[in-house]
Structure 1
Amino acid sequence: MGGAEKVVMDLALYSNKEEFNTYVLALSKRDELLDDFLENNISTNILNKSNSLIDFMVIIREVNRFIKTNNIDIIHAHMTHPIIVASIIKLFKPSIKIVYTSHSIDIGSKIREIIVWALKPLREIDIIFSKGIIKFFYKKNHKIIPNGVKISKYNLKINKNKKFTFVSIGRLEVVKNHKILIEIAARLKGEFDFELHIAGDGYLKENLEKLIDRYKINDCVKLLGNIKDIPTLLNKSHCLVLPSLWEGMPIVILEAGASSLPVISTPVGSIPSLLNDQNSYISELKLFESSMIRVLEDAEESQKKGLILFDLIKKKYNINKVVARHEVIYKML
């Protein structure tokens, strides 16, 4: 369900197989998309390790062995732990080239930022999604490449749900801020006829279930769990809501745009480089409820914004163009 994992899958899936042999090596125990990787014949291995010191040492050993066995030339490290691991590996094998993508404006803590900054000399290039998330720990010779999406996968011709449906897609974690959506739904329930569908799983699931029970809105707010068929979920819905506290460049916004779906989102991370008042409802948290009301009251306006966003996604965020730009970097190393 994670956006970073989807980016990795798309890079592996749409890369030129005649020029690149791609392997995916996951460090943690998260395996939500493993079946998708395997179904697409992407060579994928999961180490199933924790963040403990002992497991970290095991990860270094296993990754080093994997690189030697498969004659790896380039490591594209996605997020913080992988770039730390890749940097240590480079100390043992200086010839290996390292590319780093963080996937978020907030990488976790100041300590992490300092560590990533200190490791800059050990990597060749950083890839970031927009100028808006540039920080001191990125290399000066970074490249700006946005995320991408396969347009044809999401541009479906299917019927919408009979009842107006807001949809939220993402991990059930604090950063995604589902709590505010449930609170807004509780206030609007008596005035409007709609449903809020929340797709995803995570450590806040039980807390969100209790909140829904407390407000007695089980008939209005649905926790769907992990959903595999995201294109159908989006195309059956009427509006994507993303009240995140911080982000990078969320894949789900590109997916919604490719589905011609109106989007309400907070202006965090790289999102303002994509969304504006013409193609979406870019809303601070204090205005989020007003934007949801506006969508409920004016379907014509929201549908128009969805079509404008679709045109932009089709023009600038096609996954094949995005992958091609990554391949140019790989060849230069």
Structure 2
Amino acid sequence: MKNKVLHLIQAVDNGGCENMMLRTLPLLSDFEHIIITLHHPGELSEQFKQKNIPIINIGQKNVFDFFSYARLLKEVKRNKPDIIITYLFHADMIGRLFLGIITKNKIIPFLRTTYNHKKYLVARLFEKITKNLVQRYIANSESVKNFYVNNIGVKKENISIINNGIDVKFYEKIRKDENLQKELGIRKGEQIIVCVANLHINKGHQYLLKAFEINYKNNPNIKLLLVGDGKEKINLKKQIDNYSSKNNVLFLGKRNDVPKILKISDIFVLPTLFEGMSNAIMEAMASGLPIATTDIPENREILNEKNSCLFKTSNANDTADKIAFLLSNPELRSILKESSLRTIRNNFDINIIKKKFSNLLDRLIKE
């Protein structure tokens, strides 16, 4: 009989964490997986079901919906998991303060990001207060692990690292789609800059838009594709109202054809202020795109000066300089493309991560 792993998350919407789960869990076939969503099933729920991973939705209205806790407890007792992995703040909180205490199940938070922003003060406080309720953690990068060791006070030996993984072969098979280019109004010879990220303040889009405006004044033959949605969309559109480049900035929203969009682009830019381990960067690397992104510890785990252009955080001028340098140097773009593809293939291919994750789950269950 297979060991049973229960995964607790607010919803399996189309985000980095959820897509990581969708890529990885079906490959861990030595275990039986069940996902419990707290709020709603989510955009990716049908894809999980197609891969024979059931989704159980609790339908929690808010944290004070006490009946939802009874439903959650009932499902946990019915499924009798060997281990419970929680993802993101809401599920982490309920996993530790409710399931860990009431059921005595082994709760393993899967840490996905650092909380290096003032808006996350509550989350940081929660992590410090509840750290003694958790015996083991999983982190998706060395930077996230270091954050929890240095800022939260978690012992480093209690955190195991499982990086995000990418199906490199899948991205290598994608071909340029001329119909997509026509749909987006991309003209022949136009240079395409793409950014894939939720429109949140920590992703730094405001600096990318300024950088694009600077470059556009010298090179109007460029177009910026912003893939993703979020609370900052209104502010970002307002920001470019008086920009000469505004008609060359496309807000594409959430898309199901991101691999195809990457394939018709010339460079990938992510001006993020902090990360865990960026799925978007890894997907762009697997797509053979030269990368320009912020010089932060999280990105340094997969990037360096030999496979990317790194620029200062919150600095539109430096961002603009690096973008211009890449666009004007096709030989460099080719070198960075090959180097980043080699990095992702040799270190972060999904099959490499699968083996590490499977071995870790075995150890955690046996402890």
Does TM, normalized by the shorter one, top 0.5? yes
Which stretch shifts more, 27-36 or 160-169?
A: 27-36
Do residues 4 (structure 1) and 17 (structure 2) align? yes
Deviations 1:75-110 (A, max 9, x none): 11112221221112121111x222212211117634
Aligned residues: 328
Equivalent runs, 1:287-298 vs 2, <5 Å: 287-298=318-329
Deviations 1:26-80 (A, max 9, x none): 3345834334334434322444545x4413x444333222211222221111122
Q: CA deviation at 1:188?
A: 1.8
Relative distance call for 1:58 and 1:268 in structure 2 (3 A) is farther
For the residues of structure 1 that align with 2:266 and 2:291, how far apart are their CA atoms? 9
Structure 2 spans left out of the alignment, 5+ residues: 1-13, 182-187
Please tell me whether the aligned partners of residues 60 and 89 of structure 1 are also in contact (alpha carbons under 8 angstroms).
no
Please tell me whether the aligned partners of residues 201 and 226 of structure 1 are also in contact (alpha carbons under 8 angstroms).
yes
For the residues of structure 2 that align with 1:298 and 1:30, how far apart are their CA atoms? 46
1:152 equivalent among 166, 169, 176: 169
Which stretch shifts more, 230-239 or 38-47?
A: 38-47
Relative distance call for 1:112 and 1:210 in structure 2 (3 A) is closer
The equivalent residue for 1:54 is 64
Do residues 182 (structure 1) and 209 (structure 2) align? yes
For the residues of structure 1 that align with 2:100 and 2:357, how far apart are their CA atoms? 21
Structure 1 spans left out of the alignment, 5+ residues: none
Equivalent runs, 1:155-234 vs 2, <5 Å: 155-156=172-173, 158-159=175-176, 162=188, 163-192=190-219, 193-234=221-262
1:21 equivalent among 21, 24, 32: 32
Do residues 327 (structure 1) and 358 (structure 2) align? yes
Relative distance call for 1:211 and 1:65 in structure 2 (3 A) is same
Equivalent runs, 1:108-123 vs 2, <5 Å: 109-123=120-134
Do residues 274 (structure 1) and 302 (structure 2) align? yes
Three-state SS of the structure 2 residue aligned to 1:155 is helix
Please tell me whether the aligned partners of residues 120 and 139 of structure 1 are also in contact (alpha carbons under 8 angstroms).
no
Relative distance call for 1:178 and 1:324 in structure 2 (3 A) is same
For the residues of structure 2 that align with 1:178 and 1:32, how far apart are their CA atoms? 24
Q: CA deviation at 1:139?
A: 4.0
Please tell me whether the aligned partners of residues 248 and 269 of structure 1 are also in contact (alpha carbons under 8 angstroms).
no
Q: CA deviation at 1:113?
A: 2.4
Please tell me whether the aligned partners of residues 292 and 311 of structure 2 are also in contact (alpha carbons under 8 angstroms).
yes
Do residues 143 (structure 1) and 152 (structure 2) align? no
* Residue identity opposite 1:303 in structure 2: S
Do residues 63 (structure 1) and 94 (structure 2) align? no
Do residues 90 (structure 1) and 100 (structure 2) align? yes
Which stretch shifts more, 244-253 or 62-71?
A: 62-71
Which stretch shifts more, 34-43 or 164-173?
A: 34-43
For the residues of structure 2 that align with 1:224 and 1:129, how far apart are their CA atoms? 28
Which stretch shifts more, 228-237 or 32-41?
A: 32-41
For the residues of structure 2 that align with 1:120 and 1:191, how far apart are their CA atoms? 52
Please tell me whether the aligned partners of residues 80 and 102 of structure 1 are also in contact (alpha carbons under 8 angstroms).
no
Q: CA deviation at 1:243?
A: 0.3
For the residues of structure 2 that align with 1:131 and 1:106, how far apart are their CA atoms? 14
Three-state SS of the structure 2 residue aligned to 1:23 is strand
Which stretch shifts more, 96-105 or 204-213?
A: 204-213
Q: CA deviation at 1:275?
A: 0.6
Q: CA deviation at 1:263?
A: 0.8
* Residue identity opposite 2:210 in structure 1: E
What percentage of residue pairs aligned between the two structures are identical? 24
